[in-house]
Amino acid sequence: MKRLRDWWFAPAPAERLAALRIAIGVYALGWVIIRYDEIINIATQPSGFQPIGIVRVLETPVSPDLVAVFAIATCVLLGAFILGIAYRVVAPLAALGLLWTLTYRNAWGMPFHTENLMVMHVIAFAFMPAADVWALARRRPSPESGYGWAIKLLVALTVATYMLAGIAKLRIAGFAWLDGELLRNQIAIDNLRKLLLGDSTATLGTTLLHHPTIMTAFSVLTIVLELGSPVALIGGRIARLWALGAWGFHVGVILLMNIWFPYAVLGFAFLPIFEVERPIAWLSRRWRARRQ
Amino acid sequence: MSIGGRPGKSVAVVLGSRGFAIVASIALLVLTLSPVVREPTDDGFPLSTYPMFATERPTELSMVYALGVTRSGERRYLRPFLIGSGEVLQAYMILAGAVAGGPGTTQALCQAIAARIRELGDIDIVTVRIVFGKHDALEVLLDHKLGKETERTRCSVKRS
């Protein structure tokens, strides 16, 4: 138990957690801004509202104006979250705003799986001392718990997501998922659906439909990456290798199905595995040097 | 409880304690992993079972979609934003919801699509059709062979 505690609370610099707050906050803010029109547009639909998650408190849709107010408030809160202003109050509110806005959007039609981990990361930040440095507030002293646990928790949430995806495949399809036929059919169906709905199809996906052996290899690799995700908690080179493999998997999904998981493809899902404070500290040093 | 009579400081001490970190970590991890005890197909947000790509599927696809017909009679698949959403799956849900609502809602959606095409102006589409198609994905993608289509409704793109 002591070893587990020592590992979970192994020290990490406050700057790393702050860098993660800034990076993930910027991504979340950018996501809501880019998706703003879509969020409002879908809320004007006359039918198709199927409440999920916290939106289950509603029986009928709210006015699109209210959806817009929540989305704009979420953007403002995320801005303050990035800057580290009044963090103890702002971080939970920003997490709640993001959770509500994106859950409401996902309540129209099929839930996406591209936003879940980002939302869980932002929720986790609400419990973390992530604005003790690199914030527009006075520098706080280090807490007793330190910062290492918070970074490990962000990695653990990423790991849990991939684990769940792997477990779902085995629970739903069993080991038959590994033979590649199921994946081939998924790729074929997904590309046909995209074609019929006027979206771009993945050329590589349709080409590889001729090669079932490659599909088997992709299936096995997918399960190995998903169920092997806990190696990311070990840290160091093995964690970075896993992150590279998982990133490659998402690139593969784009090439085979033209399905984008931007949080992973742009690397944000894996940032907690890396020493992300270094580039920001370098930029900060350069900026200060210029001012002097 | 406060330390030195400063309530703010006592909050900081609690939030910065190892005990709080342990409780927060366990709570968030249990919450994130909780879908594992749900039916794997019982999806949610943000606590998902991640059932994507897991379900065994036949290669036959039956679904409703919208088609545009050009002045010369050629068929065009319509982009999702013309249906009412930039997202392909949500565009599909809009189409499926309209058809499930009956001929009236299907025709209303057809008119809405036609209005969006008219607003864009530069698209050579004169008629919108909402059809129900039944295709084999491998036959369409590998042999370019379409299955059967049944028209649910059609409407004209009226231009002034």
Q: What are B23-53's pLDDT values in tens digits? A: 999 999 999 999 999 998 889 999 999 988 8
Which single residue is written with the structure tokens 């409880």?
Answer: B1
B90 interaction partners in chain A (CB closer than 8 Å)? 42, 48, 108-110
pLDDT at residue A210, as a whole number: 86
3-class DSSP string for A220-239: HHHHHHHHCHHHHHCCHHHH
B1 touches chain A (CB under 8 A): no
Q: Do A198 and B79 touch (CB under 8 A)?
A: yes
Residue B127 β-bridge partners: B69, B156
Q: Give the nearest partner residue to A103 out of B36, B45, B138, using CB atoms.
A: B45
Give the DSSP letter string of A279-291: HHHHHHHHHHHHH
The two tokens of residue B101 are: 């609502």
pLDDT at residue B1, as a whole number: 41
B86 touches chain A (CB under 8 A): yes
Q: Do A206 and B84 touch (CB under 8 A)?
A: no
B14 touches chain A (CB under 8 A): no
pLDDT at residue A192, as a whole number: 94
State the amino acid at position B94 in one-letter form.
I
B120 interaction partners in chain A (CB closer than 8 Å)? none
**Touching B: A residues 40-59, CB under 8 Å:** 41-42, 45-48, 52-53
How many whole angstroms separate alpha carbon A167 and alpha carbon B51? 9
pLDDT at residue B2, as a whole number: 42
Is pLDDT above 90 for A212?
A: no
How many whole angstroms separate alpha carbon A86 and alpha carbon A137? 7
pLDDT at residue B85, as a whole number: 84
Q: Do A185 and B56 touch (CB under 8 A)?
A: yes
**Touching B: A residues 89-128, CB under 8 Å:** 99, 102-103, 106-113, 115-117, 119-120, 123-124, 127-128
How many whole angstroms separate alpha carbon A262 and alpha carbon A33? 15
Q: Report the residue of A127, A192, A227 to disrupt the B interface, i.e. the one with the largest count of B CBs within 10 Å.
A: A192
Q: What percent of chain A has pLDDT over 90?
A: 81
Q: What percent of chain A has pLDDT over 70?
A: 100
B69 interaction partners in chain A (CB closer than 8 Å)? none
**Which pLDDT band holds residue B4 (cuts at 50, 70, 90)?**
very low
Smallest CA-to-CA distance from A232 within A223, A245, A221 is with: A245
Q: pLDDT of A57-97, one tens digit each?
A: 999 999 999 999 999 999 999 999 999 999 999 999 999 99
pLDDT at residue B6, as a whole number: 54
Is pLDDT above 80 for A109?
A: no
**Which pLDDT band holds residue B8 (cuts at 50, 70, 90)?**
low
- Is the preceding peptide bond at B46 cis, omega within 30 degrees of 0? yes
| Listed range (A7-11, A255-259, B98-102) with the worst mean pLDDT | A255-259
Which single residue is written with the structure tokens 């610099």?
Answer: A13
Q: pLDDT of A153-180, one tens digit each?
A: 999 999 999 999 999 999 999 999 999 9
Structure-model confidence comparison of residues B89 and A113, the more confident one: A113
How many whole angstroms separate alpha carbon A33 and alpha carbon B150? 40
Distance of CA B111 to the CA centre of its chain: 21
With a CB cutoff of 8 Å and minimum separation 6, the contacts of A134 are A15, A18, A19, A21, A22, A84, A280, A284
Closest CA in chain A for residue B19: A145
Average pLDDT (A232-258) is 96
Distance from CA of B105 to the nearest CA of A (A): 10
**Touching A: B residues 92-121, CB under 8 Å:** 92-94, 97-98, 101, 105, 108
The two tokens of residue A128 are: 């973390």
pLDDT at residue B7, as a whole number: 56
Q: pLDDT of B64-122, one tens digit each?
A: 999 999 999 999 999 999 998 888 888 888 999 999 999 999 999 999 999 999 998 87
Structure-model confidence comparison of residues A284 and A150, the more confident one: A150
Q: Do B46 and A119 touch (CB under 8 A)?
A: yes
With a CB cutoff of 8 Å and minimum separation 6, the contacts of A91 are A81, A125, A126, A128, A130, A131
Distance from CA of A26 to the nearest CA of B (A): 19
Under DSSP, is residue A133 helix (H, G, I), strand (E, B) or coil? Answer: coil
Write the DSSP symbol of residue A58: -
How many whole angstroms separate alpha carbon A61 and alpha carbon B109? 19
Is pLDDT above 80 for A106?
A: yes
The two tokens of residue A287 are: 């900026």
Distance from CA of A124 to the nearest CA of B (A): 7
Kindly provide the ipTM of the predicted complex, given to two decimals. Answer: 0.92
**Which pLDDT band holds residue A110 (cuts at 50, 70, 90)?**
confident
> Is-contact B83 B113, C-beta < 8 A?
yes
B44 touches chain A (CB under 8 A): yes
With a CB cutoff of 8 Å and minimum separation 6, the contacts of A206 are A187, A188, A191, B141, B142
Is pLDDT above 80 for A107?
A: yes
Smallest CA-to-CA distance from A183 within B60, B147, B59 is with: B59
Structure-model confidence comparison of residues B154 and A286, the more confident one: B154
Q: Report the residue of B141, B144, B145, B150 to disrupt the A interface, i.e. the one with the largest count of A CBs within 10 Å.
A: B141
Task: Report the 10 Å Cβ neighbour count for A64.
Answer: 15
How many whole angstroms separate alpha carbon B55 and alpha carbon B42? 12
Q: Report the residue of A196, A226, A233, A253 to disrupt the B interface, i.e. the one with the largest count of B CBs within 10 Å.
A: A196
Q: pLDDT of B114-144, one tens digit each?
A: 999 999 887 889 999 999 999 999 999 988 8
**Which pLDDT band holds residue A41 (cuts at 50, 70, 90)?**
confident
Sheet holding B127-136, edge to edge: B75-77, B60-69, B127-136, B148-156
